[in-house]
Amino acid sequence: MLLYGNEIVSFFDLGRNGHSFLEAIANMFFFAGVLLTGNYYFRKIHFFNLEALLQNILVWGLILMLLFQLPPTLENFPFYQEMNTDYISVFLTFSMVIYLVYVLSMFGTLALINHEEKRIYWRLFLSLILLSVFLAFIPFSLPFPVYLTYYVLIVCSSIYFSFHYKWLNYLDYDAMKMVFLLFIPLNIVNAGILYFYIVGSDLVVLESAFHPNFFIYGTATFGCLYGIFSFLAVLFYFPIQKSERKKAKDIDNLFAIQERVLKKEETYDLFGFLFNSSFEACKAKAGWIRYLRHNDTKMITRNVNLAVIEKLSAFIEGYHKKKQTDSWVIFDLQQQSAIRKEKIPYTSMIYCKLENEGKMIMEIVLVSEEKTRFDQYSFQMMNTYFNQAKLAYENAELLNERLKGEVLQNELKIAQEIQISLIPEKPPEYKYIDFHAVVKQANEVGGDFYDYHINSKNELYIIIGDVTGKGLPAAIHMAEAKGIIQSLLQFDLPMEEFMLHLNRGIGICFQKNMFLTLSIIKINPSKKKFQYIRAGHCPALYYENISEVNRFLDEKGLGAGIIRNDDYKNYFKVYEQHYSAGDVILLFTDGFAETNNPANGEEFGYERIEKSFLNSDKSEAKKITTKLDQNLENFAQENYLKDDLLVIAIKFKE
């Protein structure tokens, strides 16, 4: 399209005889400058606002299409016939040049978002487009296969970049709907402009100003292809975005429940929020919550009358005795004869109940008229909400009972009980590893803990952490941290997202001067590799059995809750490592590294940990941890157990 230089030069009477070669050179450099300068300028001044970007391109394209319609519309008017159409020709030329450069630059900017490594390929593509400027001014025609090959290269490059749309990750659901609607007219406009060029040779203004060249074909083809592929990407991404939006909302509700517990809100408000969150998450048609408040039974209902509640309650009482569980789901309620007999219209139900010493504290019932309304995810999410409230209630009850009339001594006892209750009673039953942990409490309770989780893909998470502080506050924060971690593990999030949500949850639940350090390992036995994140915790020691080399995995990492915004993603790193049979990972807390010798005050340190590990019998995980614990006790003497001690050995099997 940049070939319009000949028209512009002749318009300004620059095409004098004997200067055709200089004229071509001038045109080439002039229009190449427009392409390169426009591409650089538009990308520099544009702030990333996708909706505004698409609106600007759309408005500009519509104006350009209207301008194309003016010459044939006005050609029969006397005032137009007396005009010098070269002015209009030059104006339309520059309008289309700038529009196509704008489309090329803006779509190119989108294609390179989170694809910085592909910038060199983008420059090669721009070089192809730039070459079209020079091809247009050569004084002879090339064979048709050369032109065809050149155009095929442009089309293939356009298709390649059309699959780069990571900018979708920056859009929320509402923005995605707006972008989807904008792409429809935008694709029509871009296709229309290409159509005007291909079939518009019968228009007077196009005869003189628009002659075939690959700049028009190349940039317009890229604009059409990227627009169409982006439209399809948004279309197919809608269900994923909707699901992610629901997951994010579920996680927000979990944190909101935690926050309300920490603020010690009234039971009425907390249980009411729990019920409403569960109702929305499960998309129930009706339901109620019944709970005990000051020895009086209270109830909140939605879309259900007392008569139906009484009938369903009678059914629930009998069914609950058969199930002997605190929570259950019925996918086809109409198969129950008692329901059909009472002509109750609902077809599915979720039930959860909280009891304390045989006394009903709270029960939630959700029902729907659709058989497929409640799925396993809904039931699992409901259980997660309910267990979070149950844990908060039980902890609050435990603290209320123990703190009545008791001070420091009883606080310590409570903290120890909380800490003991949060340490797993048995190691993970996971055939791919040999696992052993040594956990010893200090006289003054700290915040050391560990936990594990096996997800639906048979991947094992192992978490070791340390909450700042001592005594009862540390134990309470440890319970909160474990609750947040276990809640997030249910979602099978990628490690980066897990850490961001954990940091957010810690920021909500912990006081500003409190934070959590931890290390987390995710083992994938099918690929024989593990992922590891160190968030301000002691580095793990990794031993490779084949090479008999060990090293500390001291990747950068900052504790959760220190930086309480999205910048936290820049302060940790996911480390990946393939393992072999016999490899060992050693995890420990600062109680091992920082315990000192009473004679000289020297700390046990990482070097002694490494030396103790190397001198240990590595045939079993238990022998490794036992050897390390014995060496520390001999070194520390009376300083032994001045701080909590926690060490975990993980040995990989075949």
Average confidence score pLDDT of the chain = 78
Indicate if the pLDDT at residue 623 is higher than 60.
yes
Strand partners, 439: 646
Give the residue, 647 or 165, on which the prediction is more confident. Answer: 647
Q: Where are the domains of the chain?
A: 2-244, 265-395, 407-652
CA 631 to the chain's CA centroid: 43
- Consecutive H or E run containing 42: helix 20-45
**Which run of H or E residues covers position 545?**
none
Q: Give the model confidence (pLDDT) of 357-392 as tens digits.
A: 777 788 899 999 887 777 777 777 777 777 777 766
Mean pLDDT of 174-199: 78
Nearest to 259 by CA among 68, 426, 509: 509
This prediction's pTM? 0.52
The pLDDT score that the predictor gives to residue 239 is 72
Separation of alpha carbons 388 and 260, rounded Å: 11
Write down the pLDDT at residue 10.
38
Instruction: Please give the average per-residue pLDDT across 601-618, as a whole number.
Output: 93
* Residue 83: predicted pLDDT: 64
pLDDT exceeds 70 at position 20: no
pLDDT, tens digit (0-9, with 9 covering 90-100), for 419-468: 777 788 899 999 999 999 998 877 666 678 899 999 989 999 999 999 88
> Which range in 157-161, 195-199, 455-459 is most confidently predicted, on average pLDDT?
455-459
Pairing status of strand 645-652 against strand 433-440:
antiparallel
Lowest-pLDDT range of 244-248, 367-371, 620-624 = 244-248
Closest CA to 9 of 90, 71, 92, 88: 90
pLDDT exceeds cutoff 90 at 516:
yes
Q: What are 302-329's pLDDT values in tens digits?
A: 999 888 988 898 888 888 778 777 788 8
Superfamily of domain 265-395: GAF domain (3.30.450.40)
Strands 516-524 and 549-553: unpaired
Say yes or no to pLDDT of 19 above 60.
no
Judged against a pLDDT cut of 80, whether residue 6 lies above it is answered with: no
Fold exhibited by the domain 407-652:
Phosphatase 2c; domain 1 (3.60.40)
pLDDT score recorded for residue 47: 43
270, two tokens: 């907390």
